[in-house]
Amino acid sequence: MTAAPSIKSQPVYHAIDWDQTGVEHLLFIAADDPATLDRLLANRPPGGLTLVVAAAEAAERLGVAGVTARMVIEQNATSALHALESLLQQATMGLRLYLVGPEDAIWQAAAVATRYGMSSAEIRLYQTGTKARPVFCVHCRAMTRGVRTNLADCSGCGRTLFVRDHFSRRLGAYMGFQIDAEIPGEKPPVETVYP
Amino acid sequence: MQLDMRLSRIIELAPGIREFWLCREDGGELPTYSGGSHVVLSLPLPGGIQRNPYSLLGDPADCNKWRIAVRRQEQSRGGSVWLHDSAQEGQALKVSMPANLFPMARLGRHHVLIAGGIGVTPMLSHARELARLGESFEVHYAHRAPEFGVLADELRTLAGPDLHCYVESRGETIDFSKLLARRPLGTHAYLCGPQGMVEAYHRIASEMGWPDTHVHSERFLAPPPGAPFTVRLAKTGKAIEVRREQSMLEAIESSGVQPPFLCRGGACGQCEMEVLDCDSSLLHNDLFLSQADRDSGRKIMPCVSRVTGGCITVNL
């Protein structure tokens, strides 16, 4: 168990399990995490199960395992999000959504679900895979994805951003602000902190 | 805060159901409110002031009058009977500001409004607001007999073909397992009606996998009468008699103490009091306290709950 974050907005993820109050279940997997997947599939909930797989490695494993569920396999997160959206368009009340993967992917998926009127009571999130952060620039509002370092160049305005722990659930991103705004050029060393 | 108002109009809607219009005594403008809001009327009954909550059913944007509808409840403490038998147009009344314990879910993609009997009142303000916002909604209205379908015409102007009426005397009832089936994600349901209907609705919605966040209901409880008892306020040592038909909260108010309140129906938790001592048993009638709170014997909601007799001491 990791220590509670110093900033309240930073999400804390608990071990994921099925929500037995649901009558339909949709599992969106965007990382290769065999242990989590095996554990979940070993104990399937009653009701229909659909898998949306956004990681090729995970898809391969699933193919071998011969899981009996409605299966949608996509090669990347973007196409998987589209697949998720078209499933939610058809879905009815009683569905529970499980989002497993890196924060960038699962919070983008959560934003799609929110657009379809799902509440946090219907969605469970679990971070696994890379810890790389999506970073929202507070200066130009551009998103820079896959940030593994404490400092990163903004994809929009090019400023060197310091990546904070402050997280926006709506944007699905961490806040980034210019590190050398007060003394131009004065920057701490770049370190990889989000492997 | 209480407004000085008067009953500007009384309309007989059906046998035992009256509509009242409330205007400000000074003719001034009223604040707007959100769909699902209620106000608390202070009714000057012969035995003392009785405060009852009523849902506002008019147009939330109407600044000239508030509208409520009241069903005559014979087996009750006399507030509704007074409104039916004694209240006249022109009667002055103190009325609270609107409060909303039954708000619309703004992020909903479709709204299913369900009314049982006089529970139609909050659905009218919801329907008006949804219609104005251009939201997708439908209304299901169950009532005893054709003549009790009060305000159905007004609902029809708002919901058009999406108003569905169920007349009990014709054997028509709402089947929740059909009504709630195959609803698109993001549907919210709202119900105001009698206890049995509310319970069936919640049970069936839950069996069908609806999360509590999407299943809304409102039920105003009237404080049931009971044996008289004494309430002692620990901080002042004041001892107050609670009469048979009076609520504990009303008795405390009549002694000049003004504890906070919002719903007066056991739902909101505002008037919760700490019990320091009680030489009889607590009779919990609220919808607010958890089982653990009830078991502790340390909390009571004085708007609807009382004790079996003797004396209760509260930390007030």
Mean pLDDT per segment of 10 residues, for chain B of length 316 residues?
Answer: 94 96 96 94 91 93 95 87 95 95 94 96 96 96 95 96 97 97 97 94 98 92 88 94 91 91 88 95 93 94 94 94
Q: How far is Cα B106 from Cα B36, in angstroms, rounded to an integer? A: 13
Domains contained in chain B, number = 3
* Residue B77 resides in a domain: yes
The CA–CA distances, whole Å, from B161 to B116, B158, B165 equal 19, 9, 11
Predicted confidence at residue B303, as pLDDT, reads 93
Q: Which of A23, A116, A121 shows the shortest C-beta gap to B213? A: A121
Confidence band for A114, pLDDT divided at 50, 70 and 90: very high
Whether B192 and B244 share a structural domain: no
Mutate which: B185, B215, B216, vs A, most A CBs within 10 A:
B185
**Among A86, A93, A116, which would you mutate to test the B interface (most chain B Cβ atoms within 10 Å of its Cβ)?**
A93
pLDDT at A31 over 60: yes
Q: Any idea what the CATH number is for the domain that residue B153 is in?
A: 3.40.50.80
- All residues at 6 or more sequence positions from B121 whose CB lies less than 8 Å from its CB, including other chains: B54, B55, B56, B57, B68, B69, B151, B192
Same domain? For B167 and B236 the reply is no
Indicate whether B39 belongs to any domain.
yes
CATH code, domain carrying B282: 3.10.20.30
| CATH, residue B21 | 2.40.30.10
Half-sphere exposure of B221 (CA within 13 A, CB side): 20
Asked whether residue B240 falls in the same domain as residue B179, the answer is no
Mean pLDDT score of chain A, rounded to an integer?
A: 91
Is any Cβ of chain B less than 8 angstroms from the Cβ of A116? Answer: yes
Which residues in chain A touch residue B204, judged by CB atoms under 8 angstroms apart?
Answer: none
Residues B127, B80 share a domain: no
Complex ipTM tops 0.95: no
Neighbours of A35 (CB within 10 A): 8
The whole domain housing B121 covers 110-218
Are B124 and B171 in a shared domain?
yes
Residues B309 and B233 in one domain: yes
Predicted confidence band at A66 (pLDDT cuts at 50, 70, 90)? low
Tens of pLDDT, residue by residue over A134-143, are 999 999 999 9
pTM for the predicted model, two decimal places: 0.89
Q: Which residues of B touch A21 (CB under 8 A)?
A: 206, 209, 211
d(CA A30, CA B265): 48
What angle do helix axes B152-159 and B120-133 make, rounded to 10 degrees? 20
Whether residues B126 and B65 share a domain: the answer is no
- Tell me which residue of B171, B168, B178, B125 sits closest to B148, measured CA to CA: B168
Please indicate, yes or no, if residue B61 is contained in any of the structural domains.
yes
If asked whether residues B128 and B210 sit together in one domain, one would say yes
3-state secondary structure chain B: CEEEEEEEEEEEEECCEEEEEEEECCCCCCCCCCCCCEEEEEEEECCEEEEEEEECCCCCCCCCCEEEEEECCCCCCCHHHHHHHCCCCCCEEEEECCECCCCCCCCCCEEEEEEEHHHHHHHHHHHHHHHHHCCCEEEEEEECCHHHCCCHHHHHHHHHHHEEEEEHHHCCCCCHHHHCCCCECCEEEEEECCHHHHHHHHHHHHHCCCCHHHEEEECCCCCCCCCCEEEEECCCCCEEEECCCCCHHHHHHHCCCCCCCCCCCCCCCCCCEEEEEECCCEECCCCCCCHHHHHHCCEECCCCCEECCCEEEECC
Closest in A23, A24, A118 to B186, CB measured: A118
Asked if the structure places residue B67 within a domain, the reply is yes
Same domain, B72 and B126: no
Average pLDDT, integer, range A22-37 = 91
B212 and B278 belong to one structural domain: no
Compare CB distances from A118 to B185, B206, B208 and report the shortest one's residue. B185
Distance of CA B300 to the CA centre of its chain: 19
pLDDT score recorded for residue A35: 87
Q: Among residues B51, B52, B58, which one has the least CA distance to residue B21?
A: B58
Average pLDDT over residues A5-21: 91
Q: Which residues of B touch A (CB under 8 A)?
A: 107-110, 180-188, 206, 208-214
Give yes or no for residue A2 having a pLDDT over 60.
no
- Among candidate residues A65, A102, A81, the one with its CA nearest the CA of residue A26: A81
The CA-atom distances, in angstroms, between B179 and each of A3, A21, A60, B109, B173 are: 46, 19, 42, 16, 11
Please check whether residue A65 touches B, CB under 8 A.
Answer: no
Looking at the DSSP assignment, which residues form a beta bridge with residue B22?
A: B7, B66
> Binning pLDDT at 50, 70 and 90, where does residue A63 land?
low
The topology under which CATH files domain A24-127 is Rossmann fold (3.40.50)
pLDDT of residue A1: 43
When CB atoms are compared, the residue of A23, A117, A120 closest to B209 is A23
**Does residue B9 share a domain with residue B36?**
yes
User: Would the CA dihedral through B164, B169, B172, B176 be positive or negative?
Assistant: positive
The answer to whether A92 contacts B183, with C-beta atoms less than 8 Å apart, is: yes
| pLDDT of A64 higher than 60 | no
Q: Where are the domains of chain A?
A: 24-127, 133-178
